[in-house]
């Protein structure tokens, strides 16, 4: 599938996925969401040698400044609920992807943009990044998981304040509250995200995937996270990578993981 609103490039085995609607501040319209769904459900899983994915926005002003509000004016109760469900499903694909996905936030990450960043496993922010869920200013609420993930990252009190006031967090405040992992100089966010994924790529791929799945299990109300961890641990001990990693540790050499 050829994408109109996504730019897909590969650098050192890492996919750089750019939301490419700079004139619209990379707003998430319906077509962009469809393309994100295709990429994470069909294209990305086929890239078996890929080390990970970095999501960023075109230009320097915005990561994603929100959703396309013009499309919202066409919504009614049923269509609104359908849109929210589709958005949650797409972002769940990102959150549950088996290789690391990092948001390189290069400007405004508002509304759906903040929700997209929070669906990623980690976030690296430019010093000029801004985060927020200001949907109440439009008479609606976050619909792509924002009411749930923001609480997870910054706690109930701060999340309540941000979503009810529509206030924004600066990059430094986002770091203080635990919403982002790193803040870097403007223009260095992509390089930092690539650095992190490169470091992770030296670890055992199956173990990395199981860690991501176990972390997500913690937040799944229908899953016993501890039991999930027991099963995942058992699966890793049956891999060739475990034998290689343990042997390399004993022999004091670097492990050569193969993903088996």
Say whether both 230 and 188 belong to one domain: no
User: Residue 63: phi, psi to the nearest 5?
Assistant: -75, -70
Number of structural domains found in the chain: 2
- 6-50 pLDDT, tens digit per residue, is 999 999 999 999 999 999 999 999 999 999 999 999 999 999 899
* Residue 156 covered by a domain: yes
Q: Looking at the structure, do residues 150 and 230 belong to the same domain, yes or no?
A: no
**In a shared domain, residues 179 and 56:** yes
Task: Say what the pLDDT of residue 129 is.
Answer: 98
CA separation for the pair 174, 34 (Å, rounded): 29
The model's pTM is: 0.95
In tens, the pLDDT along 160-202 reads: 999 999 999 999 999 999 999 999 999 999 999 999 999 999 9
Residues designated catalytic: 115, 135
Q: Are 164 and 136 in contact (CB under 8 A)?
A: yes
Range name among 49-53, 66-70, 256-260 with the lowest pLDDT average? 66-70
User: Do residues 188 and 221 both lie within one domain?
Assistant: no
pLDDT, residue 51, reads: 97
Cα distance from N-terminal residue to C-terminal residue, the chain: 30
Instruction: Judge if 92 and 180 occupy the same domain.
Output: yes
Residue 118, domain CATH: 3.90.226.10
Expressed as residue numbers, the domain containing 154 is 6-200
pLDDT tens by residue, 199-230: 999 999 999 999 999 999 999 989 999 999 99
Q: Is the pLDDT assigned to residue 70 strictly greater than 90?
A: no
């Amino acid at each position: 599938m050829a994408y109109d609103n996504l730019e897909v490039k590969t650098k050192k085995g890492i996919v750089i996925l750019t939301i490419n609607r700079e004139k619209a501040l990379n707003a998430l319209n319906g077509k962009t969401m469809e393309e994100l769904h295709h990429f994470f459900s069909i294209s990305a899983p086929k890239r078996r040698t890929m080390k990970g994915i970095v999501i960023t926005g075109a230009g320097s002003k915005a990561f994603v400044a929100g959703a396309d509000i013009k499309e919202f004016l066409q919504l009614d109760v049923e269509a609104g609920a359908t849109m929210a469900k589709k958005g949650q499903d797409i972002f769940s694909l990102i959150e549950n992807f088996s290789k690391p996905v990092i948001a390189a936030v290069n400007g405004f990450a508002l509304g759906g943009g903040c929700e997209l960043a929070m669906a990623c496993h980690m976030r690296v922010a430019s010093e000029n990044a801004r985060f927020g869920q200001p949907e109440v200013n439009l008479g609606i609420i976050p619909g792509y998981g924002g009411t749930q993930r923001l609480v997870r990252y910054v706690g109930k009190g701060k999340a309540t304040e941000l979503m009810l006031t529509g206030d924004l967090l600066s990059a430094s405040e986002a770091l203080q509250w635990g919403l982002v992992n790193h803040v870097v100089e403007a223009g260095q966010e992509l390089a930092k995200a690539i650095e992190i994924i490169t470091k992770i790529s030296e670890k055992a791929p199956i173990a990395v995937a199981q860690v991501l799945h176990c972390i997500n299990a913690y937040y799944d109300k229908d899953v016993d996270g501890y039991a999930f961890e027991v099963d995942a641990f058992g699966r890793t001990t049956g891999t060739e990578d475990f034998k290689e990693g343990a042997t390399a540790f004993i022999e004091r050499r670097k492990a050569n993981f193969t993903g088996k």
